[in-house]
Chain A
Amino acid sequence: QVAPAAGTRFHQDRAKNHPILLSHTNALNSRSELYSPLCECVCSDVCFLSQVKKLVYVYLVRYAEEQQDLALLSISTFQRGLKDPNQLIRASALRVLSSIRVTIIVPIMMLAIKEAASDMSPYVRKTAAHAIPKLHSLDPEQKDQLIEVIEKLLADKTTLVAGSVVMAFEEVCPDRIDLIHKNYRKLCNLLIDVEEWGQVVIINMLTRYARTQFLNPNINESLLEESSEKAFYASDDEEDEDKKAEAATLAKRKPYVMDPDHRLLLRNTKPLLQSRNAAVVMAVAQLYFHLAPKAEVGIIAKALVRLMRSHSEVQYVVLQNVATMTIKRRGMFEPYLKSFYIRSTDPTQIKILKLEVLTNLANETNISTILREFQTYIKSMDKDFVAASIQAIGRCATNIGEVRDTCLNGLVQLLSNRDELVVAESVVVIKKLLQMQPEQHSDIIKHMAKLIDNIQVPMARASILWLIGEYCEHVPKIAPDVLRNMAKTFTNEEDIVKLQIINLAAKLYLTNSKQTKLLTQYVLNLAKYDQNYDIRDRARFIRQLIVPTDKSGALSKYAKKLFLALKPAPVLQSTFKDRDHFQLGSLSHLLNAKAAGYQELPDWPESAPDPSVRNVEVKDSVCARRTVLTGPEESDSGSGSESASASDESGSGSESEESREETESEDEEEDEEKEKKRKKRLDKTKAKKPAEESAERCTIAPSGSIKMYELLHRITGEGLAVEYCFSRQPFSPDPNMVAVQIQFTNNTNSETKNLHIEEPRLQSGMRIREFTEIGLQPSGESVTVVMGIDFCDSTQAANFQLCTHTRKFFVSIQPPVGELMTPVFLTENDFKKEQGKLMGMNEISEKLMLGEKCVNEHVIVERVTATANLSRVPCGSEKECRFAGKTVSSGCLVLVTVPTKEGGGAQLTVNCEKMLIGTLLVKDIMQALSQ
C-alpha cells in the first residue's frame, strides 16, 4: 500500500510525495492513515511558505471535517503564523486557518479575524474579509460580531479590501443597508480601481442600495406615459376631465432633481462598460437599466452588443438579458438589429434566443427586413430552429397588424413544404392567427382540411381538427366529411387527436345534427371503450351534455353556448415578459425563478430617504471653514418664503458640493440660478454674520484649558451643533460617573424641541445618566447640560441617539484616558507608600526627551494636568513632579512621577493597578511632554 509508505517517508522526503498525496486528494476516500503524519508535518514546518505547505494545506482543509482531532494539532502553528512580521505569511496563515471547518476553533477564528481586520497591511485585511463568510457558514451565531468586523472593514479606504468586504457583506448581512450609508461615496469613487471580481459584487450591491435611497428618475415620464396612454383610449368627456386633473397634479409635482449621489454612481460606473470582463459589463448594464433615467440607458446597448462576440456561454446569458430589456425598452437595441442576425454556426440555443430578440425588436418600420431574414431561417437544416422561426413569424404577425396577411400567406405556402415538421409547426401557428379573424379566411381552413390526410404530427392534426370544429359554419360541406374520415382512423390516433375528434363531433352535432348524428354516436361509442381514462371521461361528459335524453340535466340546454362560445384569440407574447422584476444579470433572472440567497430588488421609494446619512464627517479645517460660510445662508433660506421642503433641498445641495469637490460637477447650469439666489441671500446676511461668528467663537471655547469635542456637526445635524467637554467636576448624582458637559447650539431659524437621548448602545457594564429633556430651544441660542457616563475605566465609546422632535442622530462619546480619573490629594509619604505597593507588573516606565517648551517645572505640571485629571503631590525636590489620582469608576490609584534630568531628558513612571489605563496614560503624557 502506498498510503502508509507515504506516511513514514514523509519527513525524509516530503517533496517526492506530492504526486502521491494529490492522487489521494483526488480520490474520494479519506486516508486517515495519511492524515496524522501530515498534520505533524504542518507543525514541524516552521517556514510557512515552504514548498510542501501548499499541498499539505490543500489536503488539510479538504479532510479537516472528517479528521477533526488531528486537524486541531496544526492550529497552534497557524496561530503562530498570525503573528509573523511578514504580512504575506500572516495572510496565508489566516486563510488556511479560516478554511478549516471545525467548530471547536470558532473562537480562535473569531479572534484572528478581529485582529487581522485592524492589521496594518491591506492584504491581511483583505484576507480577513474573505474569512468572514467562511466563519459565518461554519457558525451563523457569530453573525453579530462579524457584522461589527464588516462595519469596520467597510470603512477601509484601500481598493484591495473593498471588493472582498462587500462580498462578505452580501453573504452575511445583505439587509443591513445602513452600514453602507457612510461608505457609499467612497465606494463609488474607489470602484474603478477595484479588481474586476470585486467590481461586479460592489455594483450589484449598489444597485440595490440605490433603489432604496433615491427616487425613480423616470417618475415623471412614467406618469406622462400613463396619461398619454389614457388619452389614446379616451373618447368621452369624463376621461378628458380626468386627464386635466392628472395634468394638474403633474404640474403640481415638483420637478425631479436627481440626487447628486445617484448621479455620482451613474457617472463612476459608466467607464466600466469598457471592461474586458463580461461580468463587469453586464453588472454596469443592469445598473443602468434599473437606475438610470430613460434617456441615458441607451449607452449600454453598444457594450452588450459587443459581448455578443464573446464565447457562446457569455452570449447565451447576455441574450437572455437583452431579451428582457428589449421588451421594456425596444428603442435601445433597434440600431443594432443586424447584430442579432443569426449565423449558421451558432448553436441552436443561441439561435433561438436571437430569434426572440429579433421578434421583440420587430415593429412597423423594420418588419419587412426581419421577415426577409426569417424566410432564410426557415430553410435552415436545424429543425428546432426552423420551428422556432415559424413561431417567431406568428408572433410578429399578431403584434403587427399590417403584416398579418403577408405572414399568413407565407405560412400557408409553407404548408406545402416537404418537411413534415415545418408543416406541422405552421399549422399550429396558422391556427392561432386564424382565430383572430376567421371570417376572411375560410379558404385557408379548407386548404388545411385537405392537409389532414397527409400530416402525421399529432399536434398539427389536433390543431386542424379544432379549427374545423370551431369554424364549421364557414366550411359546412367539408366538416362532416372530415369527421367521417377521422372516425375511421379514430382508434389509431394519438390521445390529443382523439380528444379533438370528440370535440369536433360534438360541435358538428350541435350545428348540423342531421348529417352527423350517427357519426357522433359512433365516435362517442369508440371513445367510451378507449384505454385512456381521460378520453373515456370526456366522451361520457359530452354525451350527457349534447345528446338529449329524458333525464338530461339542466346543462344540456346550454350546450350550444358552451361549445360554440366565442373564444378570445390567444395572445402570443414573449416568455421574457415581466422577467424584469428580477435583477437583471442575476441567476434568478436567468432561471426565471428565485435562487437561494437572491435579494429582491426593492421598488423605488415614494419619497427620498434622508440624503444626509451619507455625509461623512469632514475633519480638515478647509471644509470646516466652508461650512461656516454656508451655514447662515442655509438658515436664511428657510426663513424665506419658500416652503420647508425647499429648504431641505437647498441644504442637500450645499452638502453635495463637498462630495463633488473632487469630481467635476455636471449640473452646474442647473445650479447657476440657485447660486445667484444664494449670493443675494449672502449679501443680505453679511451684516449679521460677523456678530454671529464672534458669538460662536466664545461658545466654542468657554474656558481656555478645557478642550471641546464635536459631537454633532452643524451640517449633519441640520443646523443643530452639539459639542461636549469633560468638565472635570465630580458628577454629583453618581460619583462613579464621569461628568460630560454638552452644549447645544441651535443654528436653524426654527425652534428645536424635545432634545433628549434614546437607545444608548453601551459595552457591558457601562452606564449612562441622561440629562433632563430640553423642552424648547429657541433658534440661535445655546444650552448647556451635564450628563454622566460610567465608562467602566475603559476608553470604549458610548453610543447613543440624540433626538429632537423631528430627527434622530447617531452619536458617540469616546473619552481620552486622562478623563477617566479624578484627582486625589496625597502627602509625599503616602505617595511613596502607595507607589511601593504598585511595583512590578503595575509599574510602567519610559524614558523621553522633553519638548523645547518644557523648560521648567511649571510647564510640565501644566502639560500633565491638561492631559489627565490629576492633582499634584507636594514634593521636596524641584527636579521631580508627582501627580496622583484615582479612576472614576473603580477607584484604583493612578500615580505619575516625572523626574527631569539635565539636558531635557526625563523619565516617566506610571503606577496603576489597571495596566491598560497605565499604558494609555503613559502614551498620552509622553506625547504631551515631548511636544
Chain B
Amino acid sequence: MIHSLFLINNAGDLFLEKHWKSVISRSVCDYFFEAREKAVEPDNVPPVIRTPHHYLINIYREKIFFVSVIQTEVPPLFVIEFLHRVAETFQDYFGECSESTIKDNVVIVYELLEEMLDNGFPLATESNILKELIRPPTILRSMVNTITGSSNVGETLPTGQLSTIPWRRAGVKYTNNEAYFDVVEEIDAILDKSGTTVFAEIQGVIDACVKLSGMPDLTLSFMNPRLLDDVSFHPCVRYKRWESERVISFVPPDGNFQLMSYHISAQNLVAIPVYVKQNISFFETGSSGRLDITVGPKQTMGKTVEGLVVTVHMPKVVLSANLNATQGTYNYDPVTKILVWDIGKLNPQKLPNLKGSLSLQSGAPKPEENPSLNIDLKIQQLAISGRLGSFISVGCDSLPAGPCDKALLLLTLF
C-alpha cells in the first residue's frame, strides 16, 4: 500500500516527508520533478507516474503536491482518495492547508500522519477519532503548550476507534441541542456563442452542522425524492433504508460534515439566472482590439445575484488591457493572460459593463478565435432545482434526554 509521502510546494521544494515502511530516498522524487517540468501547468502533471522501481501517485491541492510512493499494485483511486482525505484533515485542523500552516504545525502533522496510516493501510481517517487522539491547535492551547511544555496528544484513550460507529464520539453533551442543514446547489452549464445552453446540470450538497447530545438518530426525508437523480452519502447514512423508503436515516457525526451530495438530471431545463452580452474583437491592423461585456439578470426569481465574477482567458498575443468598469474592479495578469472582473452584487437597474481596448503584440497575427468567458455567481436563499428545498423535513428517531427538556431543532435552509 502507501509506502511514503512527500509534500512538495509549487516551487519544487520538498518540505516534508513521511515513511510508513522502510525509508525511501528522496531521489525518487526526481521522476516527479521531471514530469512536473514537462507538464508546464501544475494541473497537467499525470496523477500516476511510473518509475523503474516505484509508482508515484500524486495530487495537487492548495498549491501543494502530495506525492505518495507505491511499490505494489493498489487501486490508484484508493491512494488518491486517501491523499485528499489527508489534505482535508489538515484543512480541518489548521483552517487551511498551505505550506506555511503545515510548517508551523509540523509536530501535529507528523502525529496525524502516523495515526492515519498503519503500514501503509488507512487506520483512522475519521476526523472525530483523530480529534480525540490529537487535539487541534488553538491559539490558547499553543500558548499554554509553549509555557508548560505539554503537547497536543490527547490524554484520553481513543474509545471511538472501538465503536461500530467510528464517526461519532461517545458522551457528547450540549446545553442547546441544535442541528443545521445547509443546502447548496450549483449549476454547471456550458453555453455557446449565442447564449443557448449546450449542457447544464445541477449538483447539490447538504452540509450539516449537528450539535446534539448523546447518540441521536435522525431522519431526513424529501417530499419528492424522485427529483434526486443520483446521490452519494456520508458513511453514517443507512443505505438499506434509503433503498427501501427513500428516507435518509443516520446517526450524525458531531459537528460539521457533508451529509450527502446529489445530482438533478438535466432533463428539466435549467434556468440560467444571468445573461451576458459580449463583444470582443481584434482589428486586422494596428495590433489592438476592443472588448465590451455587459451582464444582466435573467431569471432570478426576485433574489439578488451576488459574488459575480467574470474570468476571461485571453489569447497569448494580448499584452495589456485598458478598460473601464462601471461596477467592480478588473485585473489583467499579463503573465497568465487572465482577465478577472470582480463585479460583486448585480444591480438590475444599472447593469455592470466593462468596456475598453486591448493592446496586442505588434506584428503578431490577430487571434482567430474569441476567448471563452467563465462566469461565477452566487444566489442566496434560492434552490435552483426549485421544488426540492422547501420539502425537507427532519425527524428524530431518538433524541437524548439532554439537559434541556425540549430538544430544539433549528432548520435553516440555504
* Residue ranges of A at the interface with B (Cβ–Cβ < 8 Å): 13, 15-16, 18-19, 22-23, 25-26, 28, 49, 51, 54-55, 57-58, 62, 65, 86-89, 95, 98-99, 101, 121-123, 127, 130-131, 133-134, 137, 159-160, 164, 167, 171, 192-193, 195-197, 200, 204, 271-272, 274-279, 281-283, 302-303, 305-306, 309, 311-314, 316-318, 338-339, 341, 343-345, 347-349, 373, 376, 379-381, 417-419, 585-588, 590-591, 593, 595-599
Q: Are the CB atoms of A381 and B233 closer together than 8 Å?
A: no
Residues on A with C-beta less than 8 A from B333 are none
Query: Which residue of B is nearest A348, CB measured?
Result: B44
| 6 closest residue pairs by CB, A with B | A597-B72, A271-B239, A347-B43, A598-B73, A279-B77, A313-B47
**Nearest chain B CB to A353's CB is how many angstroms away?**
11
Q: What are 7 A-B contacts with C-beta separation under 8 Å?
A: A13-B149, A51-B151, A302-B230, A312-B60, A349-B46, A417-B368, A597-B71
Residues on A with C-beta less than 8 A from B60 are 312-313
Q: Which of B58, B76, B153 contacts A54 (CB 8 A)?
A: B153
User: If A13-B149, A278-B81, A347-B41 touch, does A587 touch B371 (CB 8 Å cutoff)?
Assistant: no
User: If A343-B190, A349-B46 touch, does A87 touch B368 (CB 8 Å cutoff)?
Assistant: no
**Nearest chain A CB to B314's CB is how many angstroms away?**
9
**Nearest chain B CB to A57's CB is how many angstroms away?**
8
Q: Which of B110, B114, B190, B313 contacts A341 (CB 8 A)?
A: B190
Q: Are the CB atoms of B239 and A274 closer together than 8 Å?
A: yes
Q: Are the CB atoms of A123 and B161 closer together than 8 Å?
A: yes
Residues on B with C-beta less than 8 A from A338 are 198-199, 266
B33 contacts partner chain A, Cβ-Cβ < 8 Å = no
Query: Which residue of A is nearest B43, CB measured?
Result: A347
B63 contacts partner chain A, Cβ-Cβ < 8 Å = no
CA distance A318 to B80 in the complex (A): 11
Residues on B with C-beta less than 8 A from A418 are 365, 368
* Residue ranges of B at the interface with A (Cβ–Cβ < 8 Å): 1, 16-17, 19, 21-23, 26, 41, 43-44, 46-48, 50, 55, 58-61, 70-78, 80-82, 84, 106-107, 110-111, 114, 118-119, 121-123, 125, 149-151, 153, 155, 157-159, 161-162, 164, 166, 188, 190, 192, 198-199, 201, 203, 229-235, 239-240, 242-243, 258, 261, 263, 266, 313, 315-316, 365, 368-369, 371-372, 374
Residues on B with C-beta less than 8 A from A316 are 46-47
CA distance A314 to B80 in the complex (A): 7
Residues on B with C-beta less than 8 A from A339 are 199, 201
Residues on B with C-beta less than 8 A from A130 are 118-119, 121, 123
Q: Are the CB atoms of B190 and A15 closer together than 8 Å?
A: no
CA distance A8 to B151 in the complex (A): 20
CA distance A204 to B22 in the complex (A): 26
Q: Are the CB atoms of A381 and B166 closer together than 8 Å?
A: no
Residues on B with C-beta less than 8 A from A49 are 155, 157
**Nearest chain A CB to B375's CB is how many angstroms away?**
12
Query: Which residue of A is nearest B119, CB measured?
Result: A134
What's the A-B contact tally at a CB cutoff of 8 Å? 223
Q: Are the CB atoms of B47 and A274 closer together than 8 Å?
A: no
**Nearest chain A CB to B251's CB is how many angstroms away?**
13
Residues on B with C-beta less than 8 A from A131 are 119
CA distance A196 to B157 in the complex (A): 23
Q: Are the CB atoms of A381 and B235 closer together than 8 Å?
A: no
Residues on A with C-beta less than 8 A from B232 are 274-276, 281, 303, 306
**Nearest chain B CB to A132's CB is how many angstroms away?**
9
Q: Which of B59, B70, B242, B313 contacts A381 (CB 8 A)?
A: B313
Q: Are the CB atoms of A587 and B55 closer together than 8 Å?
A: yes
Q: Are the CB atoms of A345 and B76 closer together than 8 Å?
A: no
CA distance A58 to B75 in the complex (A): 27
Q: Are the CB atoms of B233 and A275 closer together than 8 Å?
A: yes
User: If A130-B123, A276-B258, A306-B263 touch, does A311 touch B84 (CB 8 Å cutoff)?
Assistant: yes
Residues on B with C-beta less than 8 A from A272 are 239
Q: Are the CB atoms of A197 and B125 closer together than 8 Å?
A: yes
CA distance A593 to B73 in the complex (A): 11
**Nearest chain B CB to A105's CB is how many angstroms away?**
16
User: If A51-B150, A341-B198, A587-B76 touch, does A381 touch B369 (CB 8 Å cutoff)?
Assistant: yes
CA distance A160 to B110 in the complex (A): 25
Q: Are the CB atoms of B162 and A282 closer together than 8 Å?
A: no
Residues on A with C-beta less than 8 A from B111 are 54-55, 58
CA distance A373 to B199 in the complex (A): 11
